[in-house]
């Protein structure tokens, strides 16, 4: 029984990581209608920038803010210079481009900062809530930050004109353009915001899994599963999806299929959701007029 509770607690905390990453994926999807396979590597790269700043003597929160700004600018530039020329290209070309970005960021991080794992500081106090090492303050912090980001994003998309314009640009570019929305810039903005969210996710994840160029590779798969479970177009769903995947993964791994098949389990979730309920548990079915 104790093990069960421990596994659930541990599942919730890894779930928070997946939720964080899923949020970035959803952000890109909502604002550009694409799934960015390089999201994880962009987040990892941003985290390295934060690490380099902290190594250079910058205080944690300044580095945190600066990294978000740099990541935002980086995402914006990627959209402007790499994706804009491909705006009318078929989806497959974009997928190839995303995978290329993934590989480029991964190798660049390795060349610049080497592949040795690095410790990344946590802004939250050491120690934990229960005294048994189950729920550390950092993990509570991760959950808290994720929820705050979720709240901000939801308000942004629901209550601001800019948010509305961004959603419009993603879902129906030509109508949006006719309504006077600068579609191309909305996409760039979406990329910038997703990159900034990714940077936050990376900086929260790194103290737990340690910083190395392959830090996000495994997490991204679980992030995809989380985003799909919740509905890829729904930020709130993605966060709940993250927790669901995290807990299920631990329970299924510990009690049913064994640890060997945990990743397969995440992939089964992805395929299962796509087959049975493509819109996810909380997603709306997207109807497009053609």
Partner 1 sequence: MNKTSNLLTRRKTLLAAAGMALAAPSIVTSARAENKYGPGVSDTEIKIGNTNPYSGNASAYGANGRAASAYFRMINEQGGINGRKINYISLDDGYSPPKTVELTRQLVERDGVLLLHAPLGTACNTAIHHYMNQKKVPQLFVATGASKWGDPAHNPWTMGWQPDYHTEGVIYAKHALANVKDPKIAILRQNDDMGVDYLEGFRQGLGSVAEKFIVETATYEVTDPTIDSQMLQLKNTGANVFYNITTPKFAAQAIKKAAEIGWKPAHYLVNVAASLGATLRPAGMENCQGIITAFYTKDPVDPRWASSPDFVTWKAWMEKYNAGGNIADGSNVTGYANAFTMAHVLRACGDNLTRENVMHEAASLKNVEIPMLLPGIKLNTSATNFYPIQAVNMARIEGDHWAMFGELISASQG
Binding residues for partner 1 (CB under 8 A): 2-3, 6-7, 10-11, 13-14, 17-18, 103, 107, 110-111, 114-119, 128, 132-134, 136, 208-210, 212-214, 217-219, 221-222, 249-250, 253-254, 258-260, 262-263
Nearer to partner 1, 107 or 175 (CB): 107
Q: What is the CA radius of gyration of the chain?
A: 19
Nearer to partner 1, 3 or 290 (CB): 3
Report the C-alpha gap between 215 and 201 in whole angstroms: 12
Number of H helices, E strands in the chain: 11, 0
Report the C-alpha gap between 55 and 192 in whole angstroms: 25
Token pair recorded at residue 260: 């060997």
Nearest to 143 by CA among 201, 62, 84, 195: 201
Report the C-alpha gap between 209 and 214 in whole angstroms: 10
Min dist CB 256 to partner 1, Å, is: 13
Min dist CB 227 to partner 1, Å, is: 15
Min dist CB 168 to partner 1, Å, is: 35
Nearer to partner 1, 163 or 207 (CB): 207
Nearer to partner 1, 176 or 216 (CB): 216
Cβ atoms of 259 and 253 within 8 Å: the answer is yes
Min dist CB 19 to partner 1, Å, is: 13
Nearer to partner 1, 31 or 221 (CB): 221
Min dist CB 2 to partner 1, Å, is: 7
Token pair recorded at residue 92: 């497959």
Axis-axis angle for helices 2-32, 39-55 (nearest 10): 100
């Amino acid at each position: 029984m104790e093990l069960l509770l421990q596994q659930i607690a541990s599942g919730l905390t890894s779930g928070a990581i997946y939720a964080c990453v899923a949020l970035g994926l959803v952000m890109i999807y909502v604002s550009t209608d694409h799934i960015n396979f390089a999201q994880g590597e962009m987040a990892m790269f941003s985290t390295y920038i934060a690490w380099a700043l902290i190594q250079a003597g910058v205080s944690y929160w300044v580095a945190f803010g600066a990294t978000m700004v740099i990541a935002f600018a980086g995402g914006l530039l990627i959209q402007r210079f790499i994706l804009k020329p491909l705006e009318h290209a078929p989806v497959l070309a974009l997928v190839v481009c995303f995978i290329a970005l993934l590989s480029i960021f991964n190798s660049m991080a390795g060349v610049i900062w080497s592949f040795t794992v690095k410790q990344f500081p946590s802004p939250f106090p050491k120690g934990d809530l229960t005294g048994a090492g189950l729920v550390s303050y950092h993990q509570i912090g991760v959950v808290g930050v994720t929820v705050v980001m979720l709240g901000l994003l939801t308000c942004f998309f629901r209550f601001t004109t800019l948010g509305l314009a961004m959603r419009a640009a993603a879902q129906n570019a030509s109508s949006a353009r006719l309504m006077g929305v600068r579609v191309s810039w909305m996409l760039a903005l979406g990329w910038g915001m997703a990159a900034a969210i990714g940077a936050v996710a990376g900086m929260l994840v790194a103290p737990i899994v340690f910083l190395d160029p392959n830090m996000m590779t495994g997490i991204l798969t679980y992030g995809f599963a989380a985003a799909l479970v919740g509905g890829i177009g729904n930020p709130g769903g993605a966060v709940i999806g993250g927790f669901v995947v995290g807990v299920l993964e631990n329970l299924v791994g510990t009690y049913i299929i064994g640890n060997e098949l945990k990743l397969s389990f995440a992939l089964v979730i992805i395929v299962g959701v796509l087959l049975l309920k493509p819109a996810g548990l909380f997603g709306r079915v997207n109807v497009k007029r053609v």
